[in-house]
Every structure is written in structure tokens, then in C-alpha cells.
Amino acid sequence: MEGTKKLGWLEQLKIACLKPREYPRLLQVGKGRVVCFFIVISFLITFLGYGVNMIGFSVSVGGAKNFILNRLPAFELKNGTLEMENRLDFDFGGIHIVADTTKDTVDTSDFSPDYSGEIYFAKNEAVIQTNSVQPMRYRVSFSDHKNVVFNNHKMLALIPAIRIFMVLMFFMTWLMQILLYLFLCLFISMFVFMNQRVRNEEVSFGKVFRLSIYARVIFELIETLGSTAGIAFFSGSIWMIISYLGSYQLLGMAFIKSEDKK
């Protein structure tokens, strides 16, 4: 039975990103430390992506109160109709928000899968779409709320709720990041595992999957930083292929070496 090594989180990160030749050492890290590493790295990736975008937006608009009173066009929802001075179009933490009261209804053909969610406002309705896993769409007709009066000043009372929503969205994004990360690790591990079996090399799927967590780290970090910086390349299909093949190559090479040393 293999002994376990107490490699710290930073040492594991250093090996995962900078020392692929030392990947076999990671097989000797205890399962608990691997889980802790994965939880921290997934949180870091979420923070560098959604978190930084959210903080950057808040700073750029001077805080929620200043945004509502001075940056957001004056609007009023009254008698089942929404009126707004100017058209609104911006992104916030992966959510695309558009308001155009020159249109009576929302044109759903404008929706895009490039965002985690979208909210469109028109004169008579609002449409909300989430794109996380299975796209879901909700339509709100303002005519059903004719007794509601809402404007910029009344929106100030919602700032605490908005902040809570932002925190909840962060944790939901973190959860989705964990699930997607594990799915990609599973996908890559299956190919490496089958390749090892074809070569008649005895290998446990658990070991392959454990190393895949480390093999994905460098590509996840680069993709997150690139996307946060607004570089379109890191959201495209070419980068996706590069990251998958790169992870597969790192995982395959590392595991072959570890097996040869047994």
C-alpha cells in the first residue's frame, strides 16, 4: 500500500502548474488533502472569474447607491407600464441586462447562450432566462402588477436584497464550477484510462481521476484569467480544444511515468 505525503496546498499547486514531471508525487497525497485542494482551487477560480467581475463592476459604478441614482437611467413602473429615459445594456457578473422601453414586448431572438443568465425589459414585460445547465425562461407581464409603483428611489430599499442575491449567485456559480470541473476531469480520465487498458497497462480509474484534478488546474486558471481580462480567445472553441488536449497530455504522460516506477 502506498504511503501518503503531506504536501501543502501551495506545493500541490506548484507541481500541478509548473512541475508536470513530478505528478507521480501527487498520487501519494492523501485523499483528504486532494479534496481540500480541489475545494480551494475551485473557489479561487470562481473568485477570479465571477468574484473579480462583480467587484470590478461595483467599483466602476461607485457602489450600488450611486449606480441606481446616477448611472442607471431614470425609470418608473406605473399602471402596468415601464418607462425609461434611455436604453440600458450592461453585463454584471455574467448576467446580461437589457432594458428598451421603445419596444412593447421582448424579442427573445436577442437572447444568447454566451451568458449565464439574461434579463430583458420592454415596455409591457420582462423576460428572464438562465443558461447554467438547462435553459429556462420566465416571462413577467407588467399588466398583472398595475398597482405596483417602482422607480430609482424605491429601488434603493432593495440594496440589501441585491447584495444577498450577489452572494447567493457567487455560491451558485461556485457549485456550477465544481460540477463542470469534475465533469471535465471525468471526461478526460475516461480517455486516459481506456488508452492505458489498450496498452495492457494495469491502472486504477481512481488514480487517473485523482491526477486529472491537478492536470486541469493550469488550463482552468489561464482560461479564467483570460476571460476576466476580456480576451475573447479564451471563450472560444480553439482554446477549449487546446485545454482539453493539454490536460489529456499532462495526465497521460504523468500516469505512464508513475506506473513505470512501480
Instruction: For the chain, 262 residues long, give each residue's pLDDT as a single digit of tens.
Output: 344 567 888 999 999 998 888 888 888 888 889 999 999 999 999 999 989 988 988 898 888 899 999 989 999 999 999 999 999 998 876 788 999 999 999 988 888 877 778 999 999 999 998 876 667 889 999 999 889 999 999 999 999 998 998 899 899 889 999 999 999 999 999 998 888 778 777 778 888 899 999 999 999 999 999 988 888 888 788 999 999 999 998 888 775 644 444 4
For the chain, the domain total comes to: 2
CA dist., res. 177 & res. 103, Å (int):
36
* Domain co-membership, 157 together with 237: no
CA dist., res. 170 & res. 176, Å (int):
10
* Domain co-membership, 130 together with 70: yes
* Domain co-membership, 31 together with 109: no
With 0-12 CB in 10 A as exposed, 13-18 as middle and 19+ as buried, what is 149?
A: exposed
* Domain co-membership, 150 together with 199: no
* Domain co-membership, 49 together with 176: yes
CA distances from residue 41 to 78, 85, 106, 224 in whole angstroms, order as listed? 47, 44, 39, 12
Residues spanned by the domain of 191: 9-55+169-260
Domain boundary among 133, 167, 201: 167
* Domain co-membership, 154 together with 195: no
In 3-state terms, what secondary structure has residue 82? Answer: strand
pTM of the predicted model as reported, rounded to 2 decimal places: 0.80
Q: Phi and psi at residue 209, in whole multiples of 5°?
A: -65, -40
Residue 202 DSSP code: -
Q: Is residue 61 part of a domain?
A: no
Domain boundary among 114, 145, 167: 167
